[in-house]
Amino acid sequence: MTVRNAFYAQSGGVTSVINSSACGLIQEARRHPSLIGKVYAGRDGIIGALTEDLIDTSFESDDDIARLRYTPGGAFGSCRYKLKNLDDHRAQYERLIEVFKAHDIGYFFYNGGNDSMDTAWKVSQIAEKMGYPVVCVGIPKTVDNDLPLTDCCPGFGSVAKYVATSIREAGYDVASMSRTSTKIFVLEVMGRHAGWITAACGLASENTGEPPHILLFPEVPFNPEKFLVRVQECVDRHGYCTVAVSEGLADASGKLIADSGSKDAFGHSQLGGVGQIVAQLVKDKLGYKYHWALADYLQRSARHQASRTDVEQAYALGVAAVKLALQGKNALMATIVRLADAPYRWEIGEAPLRDIANVERKMPADFITADGFHITDACRTYLQPLIEGEDPPPYRKGLPDYVRLKNKAVEKKLMIFNI
């Protein structure tokens, strides 16, 4: 086989472990100099390919690449950009081939979620439909945990560990003060369509009465009356009530609660803030003082509290993607296959991109309790191993010591292309 270069890009919302996949991929590629020349990273994802804005990772030292394993965010930049379909928008694909040819790219690695696997799937068709030989492999990544055909998605386990830790800790705080001060605490977490992250909060509650007391899932239409009854019961019994709510909480008609309420000073509908809306509802109807927190990007970048399982899987998937590509396996995504729940055992698998692209995995109905306010034992069995293990980054001057790469650009060879 001849030596060819590889293209790697990060896509969609970044996570605290997507760079761990990049680390695994680049380290594995460097072990095969007779097959893979350089690894070019797309600056800001697939946009980097379309605009010929490539980063030459060979300028990064082995040490800095190793540091990617514990650095959050997307080291090469990411983007939300979905390629259109191949048949109607050939120009984009012709441009990709032009860039691939100019830089002798024979391997295309795409690290992302649903939309990204759709892009990867489309690119994987180039070889067949447009006659350019490129092996295309997907690497899963999404805090939303909504890709099918893999046990879980890198990024999710660390968010899960972070939110469960956070609501446990806040619960200790609220419990201390509830007699004379705040009785209600609401944590708003990500997950617009699926309640995986909200469910993960539930792991903090190992015994009855422990925070969080109530989970509000996007899968369960919000019923204010039922919710308020539950809050009152909780305050009566425990003296306080802690709630984790998904940003995607909606009413029976599917309308987001976040859109239902308040306008800001400028008359705009408020984005986000469902946590506050729910907390304010309690204050208005039951009169309890509340606090609320909005984890937002903190949850998906909290590398300091990453799950070791998650980090190891992200890394292993990066390595596996190179191995699959070197076997010539086109149009696949590397996956996690669960072998056992407890102790958790897993191995790397593979699944066709075609079966993954645009398919959203929902939470199983039996993961939510019958009353709609908590998780079941089946859910715990699934989630528990994903948050196991710690993997703290190194610290310098009291703070995590993350890497910033040089990200040196490859010299352009082509005309400008407007995406």
Sites for a second copy among residues 343-402 (CB under 8 A) = 384, 387-390, 392, 395, 397-400, 402
Q: Which of 44, 56, 118, 144 is catalytic?
A: 144
DSSP alpha helix (H) spans, 241-306: 274-286, 297-301
Distance CA 349, CA 346 (A): 9
What region, left, alpha or beta, does residue 25 occupy, with left being phi > 0 and alpha being psi -120 to 50 degrees?
A: alpha
Binder to a second copy among 35, 102, 286, 298 (CB under 8 A)? 298
- In this structure, are residues 305 and 165 in contact, taking their beta carbons and an 8 Å threshold? yes
Give the single-character DSSP code of 334: E
Q: Does 74 participate in binding a second copy (rule CB under 8 A)?
A: yes
Look at the block and give the residue holding tokens 């930049």. 77
88 belongs to the catalytic site:
no
- Residues 238 to 277: which contact a second copy by CB under 8 A? 260-266, 268, 270, 272-273, 276-277
Distance CA 122, CA 8 (A): 15
Q: Does 72 participate in binding a second copy (rule CB under 8 A)?
A: yes
* Nearer CB in complex with a second copy: 14/234: 14
* Nearer CB in complex with a second copy: 220/279: 279
Question: Least distance to a second copy from the beta carbon of 80, Å?
Answer: 6
Q: Which two tokens stand for residue 122?
A: 């489309």
Q: Does 203 participate in binding a second copy (rule CB under 8 A)?
A: yes
What region, left, alpha or beta, does residue 111 occupy, with left being phi > 0 and alpha being psi -120 to 50 degrees?
A: beta
- The span of 58-66, 69-77, 316-324, 363-371 binding a second copy (CB under 8 A) equals 69-77
Distance CA 18, CA 291 (A): 32
- Cis peptide leading into residue 33 (ω within 30°): no
Q: Does 302 participate in binding a second copy (rule CB under 8 A)?
A: yes
- The site that binds a second copy (CB under 8 A) totals a number of residues, namely 81
Binder to a second copy among 61, 176, 358, 381 (CB under 8 A)? 176
Q: Does 305 participate in binding a second copy (rule CB under 8 A)?
A: yes
* Nearer CB in complex with a second copy: 48/106: 48
Distance CA 25, CA 317 (A): 8
Q: Does 142 participate in binding a second copy (rule CB under 8 A)?
A: no
Query: What's the one-letter identity of residue 387?
Result: I
- Residues 35 to 54: which contact a second copy by CB under 8 A? 44-45, 47
Question: Least distance to a second copy from the beta carbon of 163, Å?
Answer: 10
CA angle 310, 144, 71 (to 5 degrees): 45
What region, left, alpha or beta, does residue 249 occupy, with left being phi > 0 and alpha being psi -120 to 50 degrees?
A: beta
Q: Does 161 participate in binding a second copy (rule CB under 8 A)?
A: yes
Binder to a second copy among 128, 296, 355, 371 (CB under 8 A)? 296
Rg (CA), the chain: 23
Question: Least distance to a second copy from the beta carbon of 33, Å?
Answer: 29
Question: Least distance to a second copy from the beta carbon of 74, Å?
Answer: 4
Q: Does 150 participate in binding a second copy (rule CB under 8 A)?
A: no
Q: So which residues are the catalytic ones?
A: 144
